[in-house]
Amino acid sequence: MSDTSLVRGWCPDLFAPMQARDGFLVRIRPPIEGFEADQVRAIALMASDHGNGTIELTNRGNLQLRGFSLDSARLAGRTAIKCGLADQNPARERRRAVLVSPLAGYDPACHPDTAAVARKLQAELLADDRLASLPGKFGWGVDGGGLFPVGAISADIVLQARPDGWSVLCGGFATKVLDEAQAIEAVLAISFAFACQSEVKRPAHNASITKDVLERVGFLDCLQTMAAPIFTFPVGKLPGHRRGVGVPFGRLSASDLYFLAEQLGKDRLRITPWRSVVMPENTKNHPGFITEATDLRLRIEACIGVSGCERATEDVAQTALALASDVPPGCVLHVSGCVKGCAHPRVADMTLIARNGRYDVVRNGCTKDTVSWADRNLPDIRVLLSRELKEIKA
């Protein structure tokens, strides 16, 4: 592990653990098809024996394990490689970051080639050492649409299914429809162009530079894309004999993870970018999980807050729970410990940015958008929720 791995703000992975208030964080990226039961057990063991036992589902569909020492994080890295959970080359491991529609291969409405395209793309990315200079946070997605609507998967570069092929999305722009091979080639070309950039190396950081990059690699016909849909994960029955299980605030314990492993048999666990998991349909209920669509916790999002992060000033999950009954069905309230917005870096119906018991409020936006009402207290927030949000019927 290099010294650079200790730099704060580094995107954590197995080779680059990041220091937080409760210890080092390590992230494990799932295989394209999801985790096997033995891999899930190995991760639960790592979390309980070497970390503080808390595991988080990230909005990139990864598992984040908390509370490691630097030595135990190194040990976790070696275990993960042994269990087939990571590439032994740190630069290649970073290029495994391909997020796939979680119902690929199960949902008949999801493009039938979604998982195969993701495997091909990942193999090409791993083989392309020219991309080694991309930042650790750079990620790719393959969005097959279906029950989880097209546009729900976000990443720096996304291959998005169209009725007659694939389009490549990057920083708010989309290419024309391409066939599969052309689309993968386009992703590699755009990735390489960002790898060659001296400063702005991620599309979200500067729209005009992104447009220049796309034009430079031959996508002069790029179009502006629509904003991603506000999307609530459906718990319960899913296509393909699957079951959607919600995980409150995306946080679970090692024993919760063991429980999921025991339900899998020869099946696989898929992590969604909406802090939930896709399991086989016969998965039993567990009190720690969200299994009913009426559960109020489906309407709220919050980060680890003051217990795990030095930037937070309060337990934002508690604040979100206190407000959950004020959020109408179908709406999403995000309470963030700071402007970084880790728990939900997307648009929510209402976003609160907490600071010592007061809140800046963004309507229909994310933490980075213009504040609609500044410096409000909880009673003010309740008034805003009841005045501004109306039930959204499915």
Give the residues lining the site for ligand SF4 (CB under 6 A).
303-304, 309, 311-312, 336-338, 340-342
Nearer to ligand SF4, 34 or 248 (CB): 248
Nearer to ligand SF4, 93 or 301 (CB): 301
Calpha distance 304→312 (Å, rounded) = 9
Output the six-digit token pair for 386.
């009841």
Q: Is 159 exposed, middle or buried (0-12, 13-18, 19+ CB in 10 A)?
A: buried
In whole angstroms, how close is the CB of 343 to ligand SF4 at the nearest point?
Answer: 6
Strand order in 300-302's β-sheet? 300-302, 333-336, 348-355, 358-365, 373-376
Nearer to ligand SF4, 110 or 312 (CB): 312
248, 274 Cβ separation under 8 angstroms: no
Calpha distance 160→111 (Å, rounded) = 9
Output the six-digit token pair for 81.
């490689």
Output the six-digit token pair for 325.
């009954």
In whole angstroms, how close is the CB of 312 to ligand SF4 at the nearest point?
Answer: 4
Nearer to ligand SF4, 55 or 309 (CB): 309
Q: Are strands 300-302 and 333-336 parallel, antiparallel or unpaired?
A: parallel
Nearer to ligand SF4, 286 or 340 (CB): 340
In whole angstroms, how close is the CB of 271 to ligand SF4 at the nearest point?
Answer: 18
In whole angstroms, how close is the CB of 386 to ligand SF4 at the nearest point?
Answer: 26
Radius of gyration in angstroms for the set of CA atoms belonging to the chain, rounded to a whole number: 20
Tell me how long the chain is.
394
Calpha distance 134→124 (Å, rounded) = 15
Nearer to ligand SF4, 307 or 325 (CB): 307
189, 170 Cβ separation under 8 angstroms: no
- Residue 309 amino acid letter: C
List alpha helices for the chain, DSSP H. Answer: 37-50, 70-82, 90-94, 114-127, 180-196, 207-216, 254-264, 316-323, 378-388
Calpha distance 48→137 (Å, rounded) = 26
Calpha distance 9→12 (Å, rounded) = 8
Nearer to ligand SF4, 80 or 304 (CB): 304
Nearer to ligand SF4, 297 or 340 (CB): 340
In whole angstroms, how close is the CB of 342 to ligand SF4 at the nearest point?
Answer: 3
In whole angstroms, how close is the CB of 85 to ligand SF4 at the nearest point?
Answer: 24
Three-class DSSP category at 248: helix
Give the dihedral sign, CA 340/341/342/346: negative
In whole angstroms, how close is the CB of 20 to ligand SF4 at the nearest point?
Answer: 8
In whole angstroms, how close is the CB of 298 to ligand SF4 at the nearest point?
Answer: 20
In whole angstroms, how close is the CB of 98 to ligand SF4 at the nearest point?
Answer: 24
Nearer to ligand SF4, 341 or 365 (CB): 341
Q: DSSP readout, 109-153?
A: TS-TTHHHHHHHHHHHHHH-GGGGGS-TT--EEEE--SSS-TT--
- Nearest residue (beta carbon) to ligand SF4: 337
Q: Which residue has the tokens 């700071």?
A: 338
Nearer to ligand SF4, 24 or 258 (CB): 24
In whole angstroms, how close is the CB of 135 to ligand SF4 at the nearest point?
Answer: 18
